[in-house]
Amino acid sequence: MKRYTLLYMSALLAAPCALQAQTDSPRLADNSIVVENKKVEQTDHNLVVDLTLNMDSLHLRSNQRLVFTPIVRSTGGQERTMPQIIVNGRKQDISYKRYAHKDYPDDAQVVRRKNGTAQSYEYNAIVPYEEWMKNADVVIAEDLCGCGNVEEQDQTVIQRLRTPYMAYLRPKAEARKARTEEGRAFIDFPVDKTTLYPDYRNNPRELDKIVGTINLVKEDKNVSITGVEIHGYASPEAPYNYNARLAEGRAKTLTDHVKRLVNLSDNIFKVTSTPEDWEGLRQAVASGNLDHKQQILDIIDDTDLDPDAREWKIKSTYPQEYRFMLDTYYPALRHSDYVVSYTVRPFSVEEAKEILRTKPKQLSLEEMYLVAQTYEPGSDEFNEVFQTAVRLYPQDPTANLNAACAEIERGDYEAASRYLAKAGNSPYAAHARGVMAMKQGNDDEARRQFTIAAQGGVKEAQQNLDIMGN
């Protein structure tokens, strides 16, 4: 019999990854010993078994000896024997210490049973981990009569080791990678004028925001600008028709100025406007602490009134609040929003690795997926790719599914559940839910989800059903 070094849990490698848990309590020795606190863990290179033998109900004759042999055994017949547990009655304990210990391996763990007392034994052992162990059973063979032949002994399954197959979903190819860069500028125009003075007040800084964004995109060799839209807004304190002309005129003036600075074709540019930014006003009021806040919000939301009537009703009904809004909220409603639209060329996997570190927004989900395939599943690099993907595409079902799969493999089921809530109900999503249920010890739910996934064509689902057995 091979002998292996025993280690206590305090000496284990940090942050072990727990395998599938079970909640039942196996019993040994004709139900007189309860196996409690069982834990089977895989560290980087080892398999650790940690359990407690509760012997409170065990009555052992003085000349009686029980030998328990933990075994890791695969369905294919491979097995690894772990250090034995020997429970001696009083006389057998004396005999063992004198000469019988020679009949057992040196690493055997020995305990003397004291009848009529509460007594537990903590068993800790470690063996080198091998790949075949990922789908194996940990059993205990019971020698209750001194026969010595493990194969002839009753054997109790302590824990089933099941490492389910995970199925990541390759995202659909993005035929045209269209992207945008967006921003907001607050250009100061003279009162009631559409004339733009570049050096007026904060205009140099605000103009630099627009021009800088355009030039940053323009200078990127991997992209092609397809459009620049400048959208002007006015505040509601003047008649609506007047504000419409003002917002449109200011947006056109600003666009003409930007054209001269960035050297792009005229047909790239688009000018749009909103006469009055009521949406922005609503957000400002909702986030503030005005008296009669709700009443003012109700007026803003009253679309039966035209804009001029709404503005007048607020002004005449709540004059004090209106003056505050005019001074505090209205200036921010006079803004120019800009959107730079562009397309991004496709990248090779090696190029995508570099882009992922610098400009991940330029990658498609498929390109990020292909990068992930170059890393070891479960590695920091592998997980980081899917975290980046779901951060950039927070509502995408495939991005959420793959992020969930990564979290399931890490053992963070809370995070996985959040992602799965946005992953949809595809066969692959069902499979991921099945894997999580399996890892959490909910075999019935795991089988249900795997069945759904298998019927939907996920081959890993059938593999997982096979390793789970009946």
Average pLDDT, the chain: 91
Rounded to whole angstroms, how far apart are CA atoms 260 and 268? 13
What is residue 347's predicted lDDT score, i.e. its pLDDT? 98
Residue 387 lies in a domain: yes
Does residue 181 share a domain with residue 86?
no
Q: What pLDDT is recorded for position 423?
A: 98
If asked whether residues 370 and 413 sit together in one domain, one would say yes
DSSP structure class, residue 146: S
Q: Which two tokens stand for residue 357?
A: 């570190």
Output the CA angle 447-450-454, nearest 5 degrees. Answer: 135
Domain annotation covers residue 133: yes
> Among 289, 311, 342, which residue terminates a domain?
342
Query: Model confidence over 296-327: pLDDT tens digits?
Result: 999 999 999 999 999 999 999 999 999 999 99
- pTM summary value: 0.75
Between 5-9, 196-200, 280-284, the lowest mean confidence (pLDDT) is in 5-9
Residues 41 and 189 in one domain: no
CATH number of the domain bearing residue 27: 2.60.40
Mean pLDDT value of segment 255-278: 97
Rounded distance, CA 437 to CA 420, Å? 13
Which position has the higher pLDDT, 51 or 162? Answer: 51
Q: Do 13 and 77 fall within a single domain?
A: yes
Q: Are strands 85-88 and 109-112 parallel, antiparallel or unpaired?
A: parallel
Q: How confident is the model over 56-83, as a mean pLDDT?
A: 93
Residue 146 predicted with pLDDT over 80: no
Q: Where are the beta strands (DSSP E) in 55-134?
A: 65-74, 79-81, 85-88, 109-112, 120-128
Residue 383: its pLDDT value, please? 96
Query: 2 in a domain, yes or no?
Result: no
Instruction: For residues 141 and 118, state if they share a domain.
Output: yes
In this prediction, residue 24 carries a pLDDT of 64
Alpha-carbon distance of 41 to 75, in angstroms, equals 19
pLDDT at site 147: 64
The predicted pLDDT at position 470 comes to 59
Query: Which residues, other chains included, contact 7 with Cβ-Cβ below 8 Å and sequence gap of 6+?
Result: 48, 124, 125, 126
Q: Both 320 and 189 in a single domain?
A: yes
Q: How many domains does the chain have?
A: 3
CA 268-269-270 angle, 5° bins: 130
Are 185 and 323 part of one and the same domain? yes
| Domain annotation covers residue 429 | yes
CB-based burial of residue 119 (10 Å sphere; 0-12 exposed, 13-18 middle, 19+ buried)?
middle
Does 1 fall in a domain? no
Do 52 and 146 lie in one domain? The reply is yes
Per-residue pLDDT, averaged over 225-251, amounts to 97
311 vs 242: CA distance, rounded Å: 14
The reported pLDDT for the residue numbered 18 is 40
User: Which CATH number characterizes residue 457's domain?
Assistant: 1.25.40.10
Residue 105 lies in a domain: yes
CA-based diameter of the chain, in Å?
A: 108
Asked if 196 and 302 sit in the same domain, the reply is: yes
Run of H or E including 311: helix 307-317
The alpha carbon of residue 222 and the mean position of all alpha carbons in its chain are separated, in whole angstroms, by: 30
Q: Is 348 a domain residue?
A: no
Domain end, chosen from 129, 162, 195, is at 162
pLDDT of residue 88: 95
CATH of the domain at 207: 3.30.1330.60
Statement: residue 23 has pLDDT above 80? no
The reported pLDDT for the residue numbered 76 is: 78
448 Cβ contact list (under 8 Å, min separation 6): 434
With tokens 């602490």, the residue in question is 289
Q: Regarding predicted confidence, which is higher, 4 or 161?
A: 161
**pLDDT band at residue 123 using 50, 70 and 90 as cut-offs:** very high
Query: Which of 310, 342, 374 delimits the end of a domain?
Result: 342
Closest by CA position to 426, among listed 174, 175, 176, 172: 172
pLDDT attached to residue 8: 27
Rounded distance between C-alpha atoms, residue 258 and residue 268, angstroms:
12
pLDDT above 90: residue 142? yes
Confidence of residue 441 (pLDDT cuts 50, 70, 90): confident
Residues 148 and 196 in one domain: no
Q: d(Cα 438, Cα 134) in Å, to the nearest integer? A: 14
- Residues in contact with 378: Cβ distance below 8 Å, sequence separation at least 6, in sequence order: 406, 409, 410
Task: Please give the C-alpha separations between residue 462 and each of 20, 26, 164, 436, 470, in angstroms, as whole numbers.
Answer: 18, 28, 11, 16, 13
Q: Are 88 and 63 in contact (CB under 8 A)?
A: no
Parent domain of 423: 360-468
Higher pLDDT among residues 132 and 364, named by residue: 364
Of residues 458 and 411, more confidence is placed in 458
Residues in CB range of 170: below 8 A, 6 or more apart: 366, 369
Q: How far apart are CA 213 and CA 220, in angstroms?
A: 11
8 A C-beta contact, residue 405 and residue 387: no
Do 276 and 249 belong to one domain? Answer: yes
Let me know: does 399 contact 384? Beta carbons within 8 Å: no
CB atoms within 10 A of CB 423: 25
> What pLDDT does residue 233 have?
97
DSSP conformation class of 248: H
Is there a contact between 158 and 138 (Cβ–Cβ < 8 Å)? Answer: yes
Task: Determine, yes or no, domain membership for 183.
Answer: yes
pLDDT at 81 over 80: yes
- Other C-beta atoms lying within 10 Å of the C-beta of residue 186: 16
- Name every residue whose Cβ is closer than 8 Å to that of residue 229 and which is 6 or more positions away in sequence: 269, 270, 271, 272, 338, 339, 341
Residues in the chain: 470
Mark whether 138 and 259 lie in a shared domain: no
Chain centroid to CA 121: 39
